[in-house]
Amino acid sequence: MMTLFKNATLVEFDPPRVREGLDILVEGDVIKEIGSDLTMTGLSGSDNTIDAAGRILFPGLVCSHHHMYSGLARGIMAEIGPTPDFVSILKNLWWRLDRAIDEASLYSSGLICSIDAIRAGTTAVIDHHASPQFIAGSLNVLKKAFEETGLRGATCYEVTDRHGRDGMIRGVEENIAFAKGIDAEKAKGTWSGLTEAHIGGHAPMTLPDEALKLIADACEQTGRGFHVHLAEDRYDVSHSHATYGSDLIPRLDGFGLLSDRSILVHGVHLSSEEIALLNERDSFLVHNPRSNMNNNVGYTKRIPEVKNLALGTDGIGADMFEEIKMASFKHKDAGGAWWPGEFLGALAAGNRLLERVYGAKFGRLEPGYKADLVVADYPSPTPLVAENIASHMVFGMGSSIVETVMVNGRLVMKDRIFGFDIAPIYGEARGRAQTLWDRMNEIEP
Ligand SMILES: [Zn+2]
């Protein structure tokens, strides 16, 4: 299958570059050719030509940390109780929400989150999943949502001991089963090319040494990286000192859990020494500024020290235009020295993460790169050039400019229309959200 985008202004983020009036020919799942006046020979019924005149075209955005189980939490009306600190936010809200999730609500949530991501020009999501009452098979429900909507997504199960050793072990098993399922599809030639796996863990404070050992074995066995929260709140740091007599990063490193495929999330309270070790291991740190502000966990002032920094939403949708704005404004508000350009680099670094997960090239408009592309209507009031793309992102562009989205060479949204009717999906989600909230009221914190 081929698609030809005609006459677009090509915009790239890392390094920034703007090229006007070019065509992009996509064949299969990659960019085949870029040039002027390209034509398609041997047109067939499934071929498409997209007129992108007056539009910008850029590589799809990446949300490097998301929780797609949170899709039905928006506007939640349940008896949450007091949440004066981070641990009570977890216990009274998120740990009751995830226990209320069943297969039907997860599927609905996965579809909604996938559609929302595509509408925002986000073509890939790195997901982190928890549903303690529905562990086995849960990751395949999210996989189904990714594949039905056409979104690229890697997911994993958040192993935790908060429901006992049995739940902890079942979490590890779900991670291994999911990764092996993907491998089996690849071996059979039935893999969609969209879905991938990590080995997940909730956070060091709910991962005893036995869990870390099992996770390390699972990473080794599946060849996947570890995806875990850490140092989101000071509590995680204090807990590690009190319980294990160790800082967080050295503790994980002691189990061999820091690799170039590891994704560590938040790191608000990491020390410079810990960041140096994380950098030495070539691991990623994902910054989630909106979530951090919402949970009042503090500001990650050491982000400039991080070698591989990416941006995530931590479950607050997948709109990376919103996230980069907040990342930049919060940083300035905290007296930081970075400009929007550094944050655009962090957003684009999600592609380096994808390259490690998928073993393919992402994030540039060049032949051989994956065809994860966005066409957007951005009539700029000022010149749009390589030097100021980041400022346009922070001070001008928003997700409402997104018109057409391609993932892995397939058009998943064209002129804001999906290939399926989305209204019934949202209707069903509203019904399931109410049922989910009602179930939460029956769950003790
Ligand atoms: Zn998270």
Residue 177 near residue 208 (C-beta atoms within 8 A): no
Measure 48 CA to ligand 1 centroid, in angstroms.
Answer: 38
Instruction: Give the pLDDT score at 44.
Output: 60
How many angstroms separate the alpha carbon of residue 291 from the centre of ligand 1?
Answer: 8
CB contact set of 27 (below 8 Å; sequence gap of 6+)? 1, 2, 409
Å from CA of 119 to ligand 1 middle: 22
Residue 286 CA to ligand 1 center (angstroms) comes to 9
Distance 46 CA to ligand 1 centre (A): 39
Contacts of 385 (CB under 8 A, 6+ apart): 18
Distance from residue 173's CA to the centre of ligand 1 (Å): 21
Domains of the chain: 2-60+368-416 (2.30.40.10), 62-358 (3.20.20.140)
- What is the distance between the alpha carbons of residues 422 and 356, in angstroms, rounded to a whole number? 32
Tens-digit pLDDT string for the chain (445 aa): 899 999 999 999 999 999 999 999 999 999 999 999 998 876 665 568 999 999 999 999 999 999 999 999 999 888 888 888 888 888 888 888 889 999 999 999 999 999 999 999 999 999 999 999 999 999 999 999 999 999 999 999 999 999 899 999 999 999 999 999 999 999 999 999 999 999 999 999 999 999 999 999 999 999 999 999 999 999 999 999 999 999 999 999 999 999 999 999 999 999 999 999 999 999 999 999 999 999 999 999 999 999 999 999 999 999 999 999 999 999 999 999 999 999 999 999 999 999 999 999 999 999 999 999 999 999 999 999 999 999 999 999 999 999 999 999 999 999 999 999 999 999 999 999 999 999 988 887 7
Sole residue written with tokens 């009717």? 421
49 CA from centroid of ligand 1 (Å): 39
**Ligand 1 center from residue 228 Cα (angstroms):** 8
Task: Please give the distance, rounded to the nearest whole angstrom, from the Cα atom of residue 433 to the centre of ligand 1.
Answer: 20
Separation of CA 67 and ligand 1 centre (Å): 6
Q: What is the pLDDT of residue 89?
A: 86
CA 189 / ligand 1 centre spacing (Å): 32
Tell which residue, 1, 60, 55, 59, has the closest CA to residue 28. Answer: 1
Per DSSP, the three-state class of 41 is coil
Own/partner pairs, 237-243, CB within 8 angstroms, 24+ separation = 237/269, 239/204, 239/205, 240/204, 240/205
Cα of 93 vs centre of ligand 1, distance in Å, is 14
* 262 CA from centroid of ligand 1 (Å): 14
Question: How far apart are the CA of 85 and the centre of ligand 1, in A?
Answer: 16
Give distance in angstroms: CA of 87 to centre of ligand 1: 14
- The values of phi and psi at residue 96, to 5°, are -90, -35
Distance 290 CA to ligand 1 centre (A): 11
Task: Give the Å distance between the CA of 318 and the centre of ligand 1.
Answer: 13
Query: Ligand 1 centroid vs 268 CA: distance in angstroms?
Result: 13
Give residue 274's identity as a one-letter amino acid code. Answer: E
How many Å lie between the centroid of ligand 1 and the Cα of residue 211? 19
Identify residues whose C-beta is under 5 A from ligand 1, the ion.
314
Compute the distance from residue 310 Cα to the ligand 1 centre, in Å: 13
Give the Å distance between the CA of 181 and the centre of ligand 1. 24
Would you state the pLDDT for residue 443?
84
How remote is the CA of residue 52 from the centroid of ligand 1, in Å? 36
Helix residue ranges per DSSP H, 228-387: 234-244, 248-254, 272-280, 289-295, 320-333, 340-348, 350-358
What distance in angstroms lies between residue 402's CA and the mean position of ligand 1's atoms? 26
The Cα–Cα gap between 422 and 217 comes to 41
Per-position DSSP letters for 208-254, written without gaps between them? -HHHHHHHHHHHHHHTPPEEEEESSSHHHHHHHHHHHSS-HHHHHHH
**Distance from the alpha carbon of residue 365 to the mean position of ligand 1, in angstroms:** 30
Distance, in Å, from the CA atom of 405 to the CA atom of 420, rounded to the nearest integer, reads 14
> Ligand 1 centroid to 396 CA: how many Å?
28
On the 0-12 / 13-18 / 19+ scale of CB atoms within 10 A, 56 is buried
Q: Distance between CA 159 and CA 170 in Å, rounded?
A: 8
- Cα-to-centroid distance, 169 and ligand 1 (Å): 21
